[in-house]
Structure 1
Amino acid sequence: MKAYIFPGQGAQFEGMGLDLYEKFPLAQELFEEANEILGFSITDIMFEGSAEELKQTKVTQPAIFLHSVILGKAMGDAFKPDMVAGHSLGEFSALVANGTLDFKDGLSLVSQRAQAMQKACELQPSTMAAVLGLEDKVVEDLCAQTDGVVVAANYNCPGQLVISGEVPAVEAACEKMKEAGAKRALVLPVGGAFHSPLMEPAREQLAAAIETTQFHTPNCPIYQNVTASAVTDAASIKQNLITQLTAPVRWTQSMQQMIVDGATEFIEVGPGKVLQGLMRKIDRSVVAASGTVD
């Protein structure tokens, strides 16, 4: 069975999507439509902008979504997922891929999500940190023992977690992780505490947008970040998407469940190869490759 997986924030690169725009009339059409929906020329930034410009949340999230979704559409008849999943932001790309959301609604929600998250980041100084070489339970316990808001946010692969929260709490937790034997506990260059309780204002704002958007019955299951299990009910998908902003991304658990449910080949659709790298650490016995177009 083929599982299609979609990357999240951090996968962007300068010039992303230009090859698709130049090669496929459908891609050109969708990119132009995206400029209209967003109200600014995201193609200028994607194709010609600097890494710094691409790093703005309001640009990064729609840019990665567009690259992933348009690449999937450019794959044509070869694009036949039996199941899908997306890492954080990538969940929106996955929902377009399995027919739950149409292109326009997906992009509109991603844009609103990015702006809401940006706003939440500006309300309180917050950050995230990567922790390598500790068991999940140890990381969770040390977060719980640290004063202030700090939680496990991304379960990326065994021995690689990202924690998220208030700046002093994350810094204090990193010291505890190092004392407990972490290979690394490194504060990341991000502007906010994604997938933590500090995203509550963004969750409320996104919830309002999601509630008024039409979600269709998917043509294959999505393994959502919040549940790490197959979901096919449109109402449940909505709820999980809202909860996702303040809940951890259970990526390791999602991939493991997909394998249990029969996935033998994982195709990463979008910029970069981050998810393939994580898959090699989760389970080397399955095939992991990039989605390509002729």
Structure 2
Amino acid sequence: MGLDLLRRWPGLTEKYYRRADEVLGFELSRLCWQGPAQELRQMPVTQPAVVLTSVVAHEVLHAHGVVPDIVAGHSLGEFSALVCAGVLDWVDALRLVRLRGELMMAANQRVPGKMAAVVGLDLATVEEMCAKAAAASGEVVEVANHNDFTQVVVSGQTAAVDALAGLVWQAGADRVVMLEIGGAAHCTLLGGVEDEFAAALEDVEFRDPVIPVVSSFSAAPVASGADARDCLLRQFTGRVNWTGTALRLAAEGAGRLVEVGPGKVLGGLCRRITPGVTAYRTDSEEQTALTLAGLAG
């Protein structure tokens, strides 16, 4: 993760990766660049790794004169978006997502859970199937992400998610994909650790945005630093409304989107939600170069 960008812009190693290693107390840089994948997939490692890689990619864009008019982030990506908007210091964001991952992993160890993406059904149908699966299993399964009009991610206890998978197949789903997340996210199973995360948020300075931000929880503009803190807390157990977020970005006039960080999924989602937008990526040196060329044209 991020290694090809650092080969092209080596000065970012000391500024970001070595600093991150010091802040977190372990070699996040080594895990990003070398793995092993099994360790990188652990939530307390995955989350700071994604945020750090996103911050570095944004630094590259900024150094080439790319300044966003508006920002948003999907779930974990909202931390990176708030860094970009001047709301959060990147080091504070790194510490917060490390704790976020630890709390999520601890919750999953107490009550094992998982997530699944349902493709080909609308939100209302998946919500109905969640209610049926929860009633049949006696366990929690809820909508975690409304990713686009026909892609919905569910989260909950293992047996309930498995039951939901059977029901949505019967309802005509095109695909059901079990996600390698390492547990459940964006559901009420995390309620038991929510207070600890709330306390950590209160200990961090949240400034008012200098660039407009749309929250992926509310799909509405983030009005202040206090509002940003509240959105991060509410998304901890609440649903990610990416469909509403993409529609809001389009309504605000965002026609060229850049997916900043190691991923390449959100651009595709946005093109399906708001056809006609142009989406760029930064998940490799080649894609970053294409993005810089496209935005310069």
- For the criterion TM > 0.5, the same-fold answer is yes
Residue 295 (structure 2) aligns with? none
- Work out whether 1:139 is the aligned partner of 2:126: yes
Taking the aligned partners of 1:27 and 1:72, their CA distance within structure 2 comes to 14
CA distance in 2, matches of 1:181, 1:18: 41
Of 127, 146, 150, 2:114 maps to: 127
Residue pair 1:171, 1:187 contacting (<8 A) in 2 also: no
Query: 1:126-163 deviations in whole A, cap 9, x for unaligned?
Result: 11111111111111122123322111111111211111
The corresponding residue for 1:278 is 269
Q: Deviations over 1:42-98 (max 9, x none)?
A: 111111122222111111111110100011112215231111111111111111001
Q: 1:42 aligns with which of 28, 38, 41?
A: 28
Quote the RMSD (CA, aligned, Å).
Answer: 1.5
Q: Within 2, Cα distance between the matches of 1:74 and 1:155?
A: 30
Shift of 1:236: 1.1
Aligned to 1:153: 144
- The residue that corresponds to 1:109 in the other structure is 96
SS of residue matched to 1:69: helix
Residue pair 2:41, 2:181 contacting (<8 A) in 1 also? no
Q: Identify the residue that residue 235 of structure 2 maps to in structure 1.
A: 244
Query: Structure 2: which amino acid aligns with 1:154?
Result: N
Rounded to whole Å, the distance in 1 between the matches of 2:91 and 2:250 is 31
Determine the C-alpha separation between the residues in 2 that align with 1:100 and 1:283: 27
Q: Is the 8 A contact 1:20 1:27 kept in 2?
A: no
8 Å CA contact retained: 1:21, 1:31:
no
Q: What are the superposed Cα offsets for residues 214-269 of structure 1, whole Å, 9 maximum, x if unpaired?
A: 00111112111210111121111111100111101101110011101211111111
> 2:42 — aligned with what?
56
Counterpart selection for 1:97 from 80, 84, 87: 84
Deviation for aligned residue 1:284: 2.3
Which of 181, 184, 191 is equivalent to 1:200? 191
Q: Which runs of 5+ in 1 are unaligned?
A: 1-15
Question: Are 2:117 and 2:152, in contact at CA under 8 Å, matched by a contact in 1?
Answer: yes
- Say yes or no: does 1:164 pair with 2:179: no
Paired residue for 2:67, among 80, 84, 92? Answer: 80
TM-score scaled by length of structure 2: 0.90
Worse-superposed segment, 245-254 or 76-85: 76-85
Q: Deviations over 1:179-211 (max 9, x none)?
A: 111112333333211000001133222111001
Kindly indicate which of the two structures has a greater share of residues assigned to helix.
Answer: 2
Per-residue CA deviations over 1:7-60 (Å, capped at 9, x if unaligned) read xxxxxxxxx122333423144321111000000111111111222221111111
How many matched pairs? Answer: 279
What secondary structure, in the 3-state scheme, does the structure 2 residue paired with 1:217 have? Answer: coil
Which residue does the alignment assign to 2:6?
21
